[in-house]
A and B are shown apart, each in its own frame.
With several copies, the nearest count.
Chain A
Amino acid sequence: MLFREPETAALEALLFVAKDPLTPELLGEILELDLAMIKELLYELRTRYAVDSCGLTILEINGGFKLGTKPKVARYIEILYKQPAQALSNAALEVLSIIAYKQPVTRGEVDFIRGVQSDRALATLVEKGLVKDVGRKDGPGRPILYATTEQFLLHFGLRSLEDMPDLEAGSFSDDEVASTLE
């Protein structure tokens, strides 16, 4: 069923130009619609995007929405950008996972958990916009505190930090553990 066509068009355009993800509340305010209607329209749009001939998708980040491309078309975009997406190094992934779970956290704390210096990996993560400086910790030297960014969520296709798997022992399957340690 098609309904509210002008509003659906406006919603799509807003998600298209959104720099930061737009909350349903903000969308409702701009489009002068109530939340239930916004959710309905988002659902409509999602359905429209679900077809195989569509390369776009609605990304949900921290309860907000914006448009992005479907993972299956990624390789074409990488050709356009002339850079095969560079995967993060193991060191960077380790530092990133520590920051993701323990944020906000200082470099010293990351170093301690990993047992090695993490300057370089941390600098790479900041440069890629996956991690940012969020202030300073009280105490000697007032070290900088780091936390993950929205870009981090986007990069890993997470809707929010709650989407991260539990860190407690046993939450990873034995296979995963084995493959990690091999």
Chain B
Amino acid sequence: MERENTGHQVELPAYQGPLDLLLTLIQQEKVDIYDIPIARVADQFVEAVRQMESMDMEVTTEFLVLAAQLLYIKSRELLPKPPKSEQNPVEEEDLRQELVERLLAYRAFKQAAKVLENLETSSGRSYYREINVEGLLTNVKPEDPLKGIDFDDLWQAFCRVIERAEKGEEIRYVEPDEIAIDIMLADVLRRVLLHPKGLRFNQLMRIGTRMEMIVSFLALLELLKSGKVRAEQVTLLSEIMLYPTEKAWEFTEEE
């Protein structure tokens, strides 16, 4: 099971994100993560982002935000230090500290990812069977679903129906509750996107209050209309399945 992207050496470095790029630069500088030479690293970071732009690589706003942050810390460090009594040095230290902490956290997870990758090739790779429970039980006689039910029960059920039919429908007023449709729209679309092999309609409607269900349903109708979601029902009584369309992905990229 060879990893497709094993060749880090030959490929252009594809950074997972700005933190990844920054970590790489710090590693190249062979400096302690607690003691980053901000001025130098900031310049290198900006230069790397420029190169990425010139090579048409994806430079998201996150890179620009971190570049700006680095340049800001650099500028603070270059300014003559104000007297200690003032609060500015504290602020500068905080920014630096915050960055170091984010880097450390990210590095820890990046290392954990590496450990997982190793596990995937060593101890993992165990396959197991797909179990078809119904198939296993084909020769088993199911228990009588009418166990304990007699004619009287059937009759009582029929009476309930008639009684209700005579009473007429009960009209209930739903208390207004504020759920912005555009929030729900994004929310519903996200859930559909996360099930590229299809999300059951019932699953989508599963969570929440009555109002939430209504608004999700409205949101779903909107998504169907705009062609971001497609609905399928194989047979009359089968579940309605929802699928994201090509258009749905355009939306998340804009986001």
Taking Cβ atoms with an 8 Å cutoff, the residues of A that contact B are 13, 16-19, 57, 59, 66-71, 74, 77-78, 81-91, 93-94, 96-98, 100-101, 113-117, 119, 122-123, 126-130, 133, 135-136, 141, 144, 152, 154-158, 164-165, 167-169, 172, 176-177, 179-182
Contacts and interface: CB of A to CB of B under 8 A. Distances in A.
A124 B109 CA distance: 19
B111 A177 contact: yes
B225 interface: no
Contact of B252 (A67, A70, A119, A179): A119
Interface stretch (B71-79, B80-88, B188-196): B188-196
B173 interface: no
B194 A169 contact: no
Contact of A115 (B102, B126, B252): B102
Interface residues of chain A: helix, strand, loop or mixed (majority): mixed
A77 B127 contact: yes
B55 interface: no
A91 B116 CA distance: 12
B4 A181 contact: no
A168 B158 CA distance: 11
Contact of A100 (B112, B160, B169): B112
A169 B34 CA distance: 13
B8 A78 contact: no
A156 B123 contact: yes
Given A156-B124, A158-B119, A176-B114, A144 B190 contact: yes
A153 to B, nearest CB: 10
